[in-house]
Amino acid sequence: MAPLLLTLTNQTLTLLERCSDMEELKQIHAQMFKTGLVQDTIPGSRLLKFCASSDSGNLAYAQLVFDRIWRPNTFMWNTIIRGYSNSKDPEQALLLYHQMLCNSVPHNGYTFPFLLKACASLPSLEETQQIHARIVKTGFISEVYAANSLFHVYAKSGSLTSARRLFDRVPQRDIVSWNSMIDAYTKCGEMEIAHELFKQMPTKNVISWTSMISGSVGAGLFKEALSIFHKMQLSCVKPDNVALASMLSACAHLGALDQGRWVQAYINKNGIHIDLILGCVLVDMFAKCGDVEEALKVFRNMEKRGVAAWTAMIAGFAIHGRGREALDLFVEMQKAGIKPNLVTFTGILTACSYAGLVDEGKYFFENMERVYNLTPSVEHYGCMVDLLGRAGQLKKAEELVETMPMNPNVAIWGALLNACRIHGNFELGTRVGKILIELDADHGGRYIHLASIFAAAGQWDQAVKVRKLMKDRGVSKLPGCSAISSNGILHDFFAGDRSHPQTQEIYLMWDRIAERLRQEGYKPALGNLLLDLEDEEKETAIHRHSEKLAIAFGFISTEPGTAIRITKNLRVCEDCHTASKLISKVYSRDIVVRDRTRFHLFKDGNCSCGDYW
């Protein structure tokens, strides 16, 4: 090459390397046209690569550049395929691949990972199988990148057997192969097999650990997730953003504020960048663990917020009954140019429902389609049934169930039934209750609910019948469980639990509390929960509810004057609610209870839910 041309080429390559946006690129492109460098392989490829695969690139422009290249080489074909595989139009990657085949352009080891990435985002099993055959035929199956990409697509399209067969047969496996398989199993809920592979794999990195953590979260094994995180630290693998996000998600589910705060401290101490997702899960964790103020602080400090972070904060206000603030934030969000999605609306409608903002809720529901171009789904109808029902508009709630464009599911009937409970509607309550024990026949809580409605109306024979049906069908009730954290350890309590090492102390403490409450005029609301027991037994049983045990433990294990924080897996019962209110007054202790659906802040004898739950 002539020295002058060589200098020109090198200059252009340097310019392309330093190029930061499309404006700059277009200028370089124009120069390349003039000098004819555009048809040169190396500068031409670099130009294409910037347009097709850099963050500030432009795929349409890349296509234009590509179309003008006379006989593009394998690298160029790979580059444009890669561009489409990461785009909204991954199918185009497959089309280009077929063109590549027609033009008899040879593959290389890079072609298949790009192509399979496109398959993974479609995902198209048929295409994957065809590409698989070609990979085998061309011998690339022995290349670990191609094989790994295949595991990934198969796993993603749910063909676990294909993925595993391949995994067991390929000549070469690396850590990515193992991680892909582990992740595939966790995503299908096959935690045992995932554990097995995890144990077998020769070395583990942060991704291996994170897959196990997020897999456990997905399977509802939140404590397990915490324990895996702990083991990861013991093996000196440093958690990154992704691992911390999974861990925070487990904390959010458990209501494990102490552990969540520890993660936040870890982030600060190690200078970890709070990205879009990490910020979002931090907000969600604090809100779900009962510290809305801290959630808001994190939210305000985020550099950039995606729609999920806004939604998490809105939903956070909602579960604390702070509906007005949720709506204010919704307005602010739109001013910030963020478009709400379907999830945002469940947050908004929940906020309205829990705060009794009936007109506002109706307004937003009606505007979903018209203003925001979002079609309400069954979740949104569920919120509306709940909203109307809580507000006592049972007739309207029922009408909505009858006229909604989809079949009502258990959540819809559940919302209606809860409304009947709050407002004491026997006729509708029994009707809905009967539907629920058929639709959700394995769910013990449904039978108990229906039986207690009958009992409340004095129809004991009917109540007994329902209990008998439940017994005959072999259905059991999910036991109530309350968790409370002390010194960073979560303590679980079930009703009547005697497994805690401090059981004696705890029961004694509760007896003292109960005595004090009695002096203040408290009478246990025996209601109609346990109809097969005598009154005295009922009273004993109700005094052993998991929540009360947790509160008693809270009195033993926390400093006077500090809030007692409890997380419950079911709804708060009437009696525990009354007792908690009284305790908060008599002992001047705030009690924060997160139940299955929302928070209750018991303070000075009142509850933040306004006795409306």
**Contacts (CB under 7 A) with DNA, residues 351-370:** 353-354
Q: Residue 77 corresponds to which amino acid?
A: W
Rounded to a whole number of angstroms, the minimum distance from the CB of residue 93 to DNA is 13
Stretch that binds DNA, among 3-11, 12-20, 113-121, 463-471 (CB under 7 A): 113-121
Footprint of DNA on 40-69 (CB under 7 A)? none
Footprint of DNA on 395-424 (CB under 7 A)? 409-412, 414-415, 418
Helices (H), 320-357: 323-335, 342-355
Rg (CA), the chain: 30
Rounded to a whole number of angstroms, the minimum distance from the CB of residue 319 to DNA is 7
Rounded to a whole number of angstroms, the minimum distance from the CB of residue 171 to DNA is 14
* Dist CA 512 CA 172 (whole Å): 67
Rounded to a whole number of angstroms, the minimum distance from the CB of residue 312 to DNA is 4
> Among 122, 343, 358, 526, which residue sits at the site for DNA (rule: CB under 7 A)?
343
Rounded to a whole number of angstroms, the minimum distance from the CB of residue 498 to DNA is 30
Stretch that binds DNA, among 25-33, 347-355, 391-399, 479-487 (CB under 7 A): 347-355
Footprint of DNA on 373-392 (CB under 7 A)? 378-379, 381-383, 386
Half-sphere exposure of 213 (CA within 13 A, CB side): 26
Q: Among residues 261, 336, 339, which one has the least CA distance to residue 298?
A: 261
By beta-carbon proximity to DNA, the closer residue of 90 and 554 is 90
Stretch that binds DNA, among 6-14, 276-284, 490-498, 561-569 (CB under 7 A): 276-284
Residues contacting 512, CB < 8 A, separation 6+: none
Rounded to a whole number of angstroms, the minimum distance from the CB of residue 433 to DNA is 12
Footprint of DNA on 296-325 (CB under 7 A)? 306-309, 311-312, 315
Q: Bridge-partner residues for 486, per DSSP? A: 489
* Dist CA 298 CA 351 (whole Å): 20
DSSP structure string for 160-221: HHHHHHHHHH-S---HHHHHHHHHHHHHTT-HHHHHHHHHH-S---HHHHHHHHHHHHHTT-
By beta-carbon proximity to DNA, the closer residue of 421 and 548 is 421
By beta-carbon proximity to DNA, the closer residue of 195 and 598 is 598
Lookup result for tokens 């500068």: 43
Rounded to a whole number of angstroms, the minimum distance from the CB of residue 337 to DNA is 15
Measured in residues, the chain has a length of: 613
Residue 546 near DNA by CB under 7 A: no
By beta-carbon proximity to DNA, the closer residue of 352 and 517 is 352
Half-sphere exposure of 328 (CA within 13 A, CB side): 5
Q: Among residues 549, 601, 550, 544, which one has the least CA distance to residue 577?
A: 601
Would strands 564-568 and 599-603 be described as parallel, antiparallel, or unpaired?
A: unpaired
Footprint of DNA on 437-476 (CB under 7 A)? 440, 443
By beta-carbon proximity to DNA, the closer residue of 159 and 249 is 249
* Dist CA 451 CA 469 (whole Å): 10
> Among 125, 276, 338, 490, which residue sits at the site for DNA (rule: CB under 7 A)?
276
By beta-carbon proximity to DNA, the closer residue of 364 and 507 is 364
Rounded to a whole number of angstroms, the minimum distance from the CB of residue 414 to DNA is 3
Rounded to a whole number of angstroms, the minimum distance from the CB of residue 220 to DNA is 12
- Encode 218-262 in three state secondary structure: HCCCHHHHHHHHHHHHHCCCCCCHHHHHHHHHHHHHHCCHHHHHH
Rounded to a whole number of angstroms, the minimum distance from the CB of residue 531 to DNA is 23
Spell out a b/e string for 392-414, using b for 16 or more CB atoms within 10 Å of the CB, else e: ebbebbbebbeebeeebeebbbb
* Dist CA 421 CA 453 (whole Å): 8
- The 204-223 site mask, x for binding DNA (CB under 7 A), equals -xxxx-xx--x--x------
Stretch that binds DNA, among 24-32, 242-250, 450-458, 526-534 (CB under 7 A): 242-250
Q: Which two tokens stand for residue 161?
A: 């057997």
Q: Among residues 300, 225, 236, which one has the least CA distance to residue 259?
A: 225
By beta-carbon proximity to DNA, the closer residue of 214 and 584 is 214
How is the beta sheet containing 591-594 ordered, strand by strand? 489-494, 481-486, 564-568, 591-594, 599-603, 606-607
- The 506-545 site mask, x for binding DNA (CB under 7 A), equals ----------------------------------------
Rounded to a whole number of angstroms, the minimum distance from the CB of residue 523 to DNA is 27
Footprint of DNA on 186-205 (CB under 7 A)? 205
Residues contacting 39, CB < 8 A, separation 6+: 69, 70
Would strands 564-568 and 591-594 be described as parallel, antiparallel, or unpaired?
A: parallel
Residues contacting 90, CB < 8 A, separation 6+: 84, 117, 118, 119, 121, 122
> Among 58, 259, 264, 344, which residue sits at the site for DNA (rule: CB under 7 A)?
344
Rounded to a whole number of angstroms, the minimum distance from the CB of residue 172 to DNA is 10
Q: Count residues contacting DNA (CB under 7 A)?
A: 80
> Among 36, 106, 109, 479, which residue sits at the site for DNA (rule: CB under 7 A)?
109
Footprint of DNA on 585-604 (CB under 7 A)? 597-598
Rounded to a whole number of angstroms, the minimum distance from the CB of residue 212 to DNA is 10
Footprint of DNA on 140-169 (CB under 7 A)? 143-146, 148-149, 152
